[in-house]
A and B are shown apart, each in its own frame.
Chain A
Amino acid sequence: MSGGTRLENANPVIFQRSGERLLTAADEDEDVQDPIDDREIFDILSINDPEHPLSLEELNVVEQIRVKVNDAESSVGIEFTPTIPHCSMATLIGLSIKVKLLRSLPDRFKIDVHITPGTHASEEAVNKQLADKERVAAALENSSLLEVVNQCLTSRSI
């Protein structure tokens, strides 16, 4: 991942960012309860791709339609789509998404992160790893892995 190594996908397809969420009158009204919705979760996921100086949104790795949240039942499901079917970064991207949500959502939420069905060669294996909280916990105690995840989660500095 350092500057010298070759990128797996040097010229990926890029997508338009969806732009800032527009504020509504209800958003500014003290008395209105704003439910946590799909767009809000999607906005939280403005994560950088470990390989590119682009966000996961620009690479279409995460899309708002693949974000499902149920505030009342405290559940969030995300499907993400690796840029290429053999992307070796899939687990890392999934882990970054999961960590970002763990840090950003109230702890009442159950968070499920999966690969969009049919978009990756090792879909099941990656899904199983991401669902195993013991492995996730152990991974986050691995400082080199945590370093990469944190870099993905660092707001882009220009």
Chain B
Amino acid sequence: MMADESALLLSLVEEFVSGLQDSKAKDTATAVKDGQFTVLQLVEALGLSLTSSQPHTRARGVQLLSEVLHECYGDLTEREVEVLISFYENRLKDHYVITPPVLQGLRALTKCNALPPGSAVSMLRSLFQDVHVQSLMLTERGCVYNMLINLMDTREAELKGLGADFVFGFVQSMDGERDPRNLLLAFQIAKNIIHRGYDLGKFTEELFEVTSCYFPIDFTPPPNDPHGITRDQLILMLRAVLTGTPKFAEFLLPLIIEKLDSDVQSAKQDSLQTLAACVSQYEHKDLAEFLEGLWTSLRREVFQTSSEKIESAGLAALTALTSCLSRSVLNSDSDDSLNTFLDLVLKDCKHHLCEPDLKLVWPSAKLLQAACSASNRASHIITAAVMPTLIEQYNNRAECSHRRTLLEVVQRFILSVKSSQSSESEESVLSAFRPSLCSMVFSALSESNANLQITATSALTSLSQQTGLLLDSDIELAVDHLTGLLLKEDDNSVSAAVVECAGALAQLHPTAFITKLIPELKKQMFSEPMEQDREASEQQSHHAMRQRCLSALAAVSTQPSVVQESTPVLLEVLSSAHTGSVSFSVEEVVLACCSLQRIAEQVKDTEETGRCFHDVIIPRLLSLALQAALQGDGSPGRRSPLVEEAVLSAMVRVISTSCSRLQPTMAGQTTSKAVSLFLDGDVSFLPDNSFPSNIQLLKKQQGDSWSQSQMVCLLMGCVCSLPRSVEVPQIDRLLSELEEMSYTCSHPLSYTSAAKCFAGLVNKRPQGDSLDSLIQRTMKRICSELDSTSSSVRYQAFTLMIWVAKALLLRYHPLFTALTDKLFSLLDDADLGPMAADSFSLLMSDSADILNRGCHADTRIMYRQRFFSENSAKLVQGFNAAPQEKKPNYLKALSNIVNKLPKQVQVTELPALLSLLLEALSCPDQGVQLSTLSCLEPVLIDPPPALIQQLEALVSRLLALTSSPAMDVRIVSLRCIHALSRFPVHEILPFRARVLRALARPLDDKKRMVRSEAVQARGEWFLIGSPGGR
């Protein structure tokens, strides 16, 4: 070392130690790192301070060294480390004020890679011997724990060499620790000891005691806790310690039994979860002597529970316990502890199953089911014991409610049965009971009690899902029952359950549905209502039967083989309706389309199903629609239901679902055919081809007839739902004809569909000049029509604008802003203003048929937030500048936008907009009121501070709205007032009397739905500030 460096070192030491300049530690460390001098030279330089008679000077000296080591422990050599360790070990025996910096230094050394062999052990021995950890300050205790953690990570073998002394040393160190931060570290060490296989020696109980004394964790972090330690972190870490080894079983299990007796709900829950966690590590012998005690506690928690959380934790623990016992290997000479335990459970629970009208039937059943679900063996034992009883009870009971309870219990047993995973061929646990279970379910299906029938359908579903349980003959019988119910049962809830059950069964057992159910449903659906003068109620029930059949056809069609049979039936409904050979109502035709769409949605995407939809169903739909359109809207006599807007919209959904999700290549072919049909009148691919040759579907029709022009919606269903990889042929021509059509038609469905189709295509066009110039051309024409107040096509231009705007907004196209500005300016338009305000809702919500993710639209995430953040200020300015009579348009636009924002965004944006929203609540327009209320309602659940500051204004306006002439406004305002009752009590208490008085009036509202909201809201407000309330 050069002289000046030596001088520098001495001066640094001097300034730090005597001058108390803390920053010099950093300077010293930098100098060491730069190689100006070594750590050992620093030790030498410290010589004087370290031998000072003043303990504080010695401490200061050590502190400098330790701080330097913290910066450069990585560069130390083994030799240096060795010297330093022995230096520090000596210092541990010094005055207590020196201990903190010594520990800091040792901690730095534990991070060294160059730690010489044996030094870890030596350090720890000195530490355990010379330091009483719990007499240290919080930070120093943390320092000790960190040393241990560091050494455990790098010197595991050495520490294990210490044997049980290490555990003992640690136990002594943490005994009495109270700080949550340090506890988390100490638990980490204990967890390492257990999980990494350290020798606990004779200190098992000590280690358990020193950690389990914190169980269950009772810690609430202080408000604004900067350390961010949560109760859950501590719970999970401690649980990992306590449940980590079967060696703790004999201590932990009695402790759990004791803590379960606590009145504190969280303690119970923690105990139950800890129990579930520990038994997964245990063997049956660890549990043996505690089984009775554990069972008594679990039973009590489930029988007398007041909280679902505790109940489900209890049941989960029972399952874990049973599954632990199930793992025991059976010796012929030893007791089977699983049997012994389940005997206990059965003894206490089984008899309650015979009392289906009493409260304990449910908790008993849940306990048994929890045990039953633990293992195949447990399932065998439990079902063998309870099933005969349940079946006998069911057969002996006459009352429907009792039978229903029993059947529901049985159903849950079926669900809880664990099929053995080892061998598929093994008989189902329930095989022995198959005949009785089937007859039970079938008899329940034939009852006249709706609840019983519904329960029976779930039981049937569960039975059918037990692999290999039901025979083919059982399935056929089940299908007969279901068919009969579909045809005759009028109760909506029962038929919905039957449809669902049929769907579940058909998934697993398609054959019986193909051979029996579909032909029978078809036969009945196509039967005509008998005479014309039949009673209306019978007409009604015939219609209801068809409805059920149609939705059942959809539900059962998940397997391709079933789809092959069911879709022709549905298509036949459409063609018969069109020709009038069988009379189907418009509603029934729509339902048939809905069923087709549902099938397209749920069926597996295979080539077979792709062909079915692209080669058969879509051409058939287009052909039928075209036939109907050509018959025209003006033709005398009967009009085909297939020209109705409701039917066409339903067809659009079938086509669009098929094109969006089934076989893209085939969808491409379908598109080509559809485009050439619409552009060129090419009908060659349509079945029943007897069409004229001069079809021009995209041209203005003679006499403004709309039956052909409206067919453009079917084109939209096809071309707008394709995956973006699929090319649309003749795109430019198509776009230009669609644009033209959207101006020339006066029929709203026709021009709107043309505009939507145009927009749907624009959304998927690749970025670039051609797209930009297309948009600019389009906008120019739109603006010129809109700007001319005498134009006859302003509505058409507006419609096109709003859909194009939506298409561009979704993909963040830069040209979108020009359209937004136009839209904002229209809020002041005398004619279009209200429409412009409403259109913000269209912009912000998901559209059902195009421009959604299902249709593969180009949609960026968070486009709504982006739109909002770019435009809210404009809206506020516009509002302030607008004349009084135009202000409602702005408020409506605002509430339409805010309404659709995700809640987190609403909450953050609310402060800025609150005064405007409150203004909107006072706006006389009921639409604005309603939309503002519905956007406030979710925000009120977790109110931002800005809202609380405006409570007075909010309460006044909401109370005023409870006497609105519009029922919906009264209802939502009451809901909002109800939500206010959950605000912090001290904020709302001043309003209590006023709210209660104001809510007396809606209690006598003429509408029941309003009264019911008022009753709930007032009930909650009464509880505010009242004992037992909140």
- Taking Cβ atoms with an 8 Å cutoff, the residues of A that contact B are 2-4, 7, 10-16, 23, 27-28, 30, 32-34, 36, 40, 43-44, 52-54, 100, 103-108, 143-144, 146-151, 153-155, 158
Contact = CB atoms under 8 A, between A and B. Distances in A.
B1009 A154 contact: no
A148 B305 CA distance: 19
Contacts of A15: 357, 401
Contacts of B304: 7, 10
- 10 nearest A-B residue pairs (beta carbon): A147-B1028, A150-B1028, A106-B1004, A147-B1027, A34-B1008, A143-B1027, A104-B1015, A33-B1006, A150-B1029, A151-B1028
B359 A13 contact: yes
Contact of B1008 (A4, A13, A40, A153): A40
A150 B1027 contact: yes
Contacts of A155: 1016, 1019-1020
Contact of B357 (A7, A13, A104): A13
A151 B1019 CA distance: 12
Given A36-B1011, A106-B1004, A150 B401 contact: no
Size class of B's contact patch?
A: 35 or more
B263 A4 contact: yes
Nearest to A103: B1022
B268 to A, nearest CB: 10
B1015 A30 contact: no
A16 B352 CA distance: 18
Given A11-B359, A103-B1022, A144 B1027 contact: yes
B1012 interface: yes
Interface string B1001-1021: 001101111011001101110
A154 B359 contact: no
A52 B1023 CA distance: 20
B1007 A158 contact: no
A71 B746 CA distance: 53
Interface of B: 263, 303-308, 352, 355, 357-360, 401, 404, 451, 966-967, 1000, 1003-1004, 1006-1009, 1011-1012, 1015-1016, 1018-1020, 1022-1023, 1026-1029
Contact of B1019 (A43, A148, A153): A153
Nearest to B451: A16
A16 B401 contact: yes
Nearest to B966: A30
Contact of A150 (B967, B1006, B1023): B1023
Nearest to B996: A103
B1028 A3 contact: no
B1003 A100 contact: no
Given A104-B1019, A150-B1023, A30 B1007 contact: yes
A148 B358 CA distance: 25
Given A2-B263, A11-B360, A53-B305, A30 B967 contact: yes
A149 B1016 CA distance: 16
A105 to B, nearest CB: 6
A108 B1019 contact: no
B306 A153 contact: no
Interface of B is mostly: helix
Interface of A is mostly: loop
A144 B1000 CA distance: 26
A12 to B, nearest CB: 5
A87 to B, nearest CB: 15
B822 to A, nearest CB: 37
In the complex, which of the residues B307, B404, B451, B1019 has the most CB atoms of chain A within 10 Å of its own CB atom? B1019
A104 B1015 CA distance: 5
B1023 A104 contact: no
A151 B1008 CA distance: 26
Nearest to A23: B1009
B460 to A, nearest CB: 21
Contacts of B306: 3, 53
A28 B1007 CA distance: 8
Contacts of A34: 1006-1008, 1011
A108 B116 CA distance: 91
A155 to B, nearest CB: 8
B1015 A44 contact: yes
Contacts of A107: 1000
A13 B360 CA distance: 9
B1028 A154 contact: yes
Contacts of B360: 10-11
B391 to A, nearest CB: 22
A150 B307 CA distance: 18
A27 B1008 contact: yes
A140 to B, nearest CB: 9
Contacts of A143: 1027
Nearest to A158: B308
Contacts of A104: 1003, 1015, 1018-1019
In the complex, which of the residues B303, B359, B1006 has the most CB atoms of chain A within 10 Å of its own CB atom? B359
A14 B361 CA distance: 10
26 contacts: A2-B263, A11-B355, A11-B359, A14-B357, A14-B358, A15-B357, A16-B404, A16-B451, A27-B1007, A27-B1008, A28-B1009, A30-B1007, A32-B1007, A44-B1015, A52-B359, A53-B306, A103-B1018, A104-B1003, A104-B1015, A104-B1019, A144-B1027, A146-B1027, A146-B1028, A147-B1027, A150-B1028, A155-B1020
Given A148-B1028, A154-B1028, 7 more contacts: A3-B263, A11-B355, A11-B359, A27-B1007, A28-B967, A43-B1012, A54-B359
Contacts of A146: 1026-1028
Given A150-B1027, A150-B1029, A106 B359 contact: no
Given A40-B1011, A43-B1012, A108-B1004, A12 B358 contact: yes
B1029 A154 contact: yes
A30 B1009 CA distance: 11
A23 to B, nearest CB: 8
Nearest to B306: A53
Contacts of B1011: 34, 36, 40
Contacts of B1019: 100, 103-104, 153, 155
Given A40-B1011, A104-B1015, A150 B1026 contact: yes
Given A146-B1027, A147-B1027, A153-B1019, A106 B1008 contact: no
Nearest to A143: B1027
Contacts of B1018: 103-104
Contacts of A7: 304
A104 B966 CA distance: 22
Nearest to B261: A4
Nearest to A44: B1015
A62 to B, nearest CB: 16
B180 to A, nearest CB: 28
A109 to B, nearest CB: 9
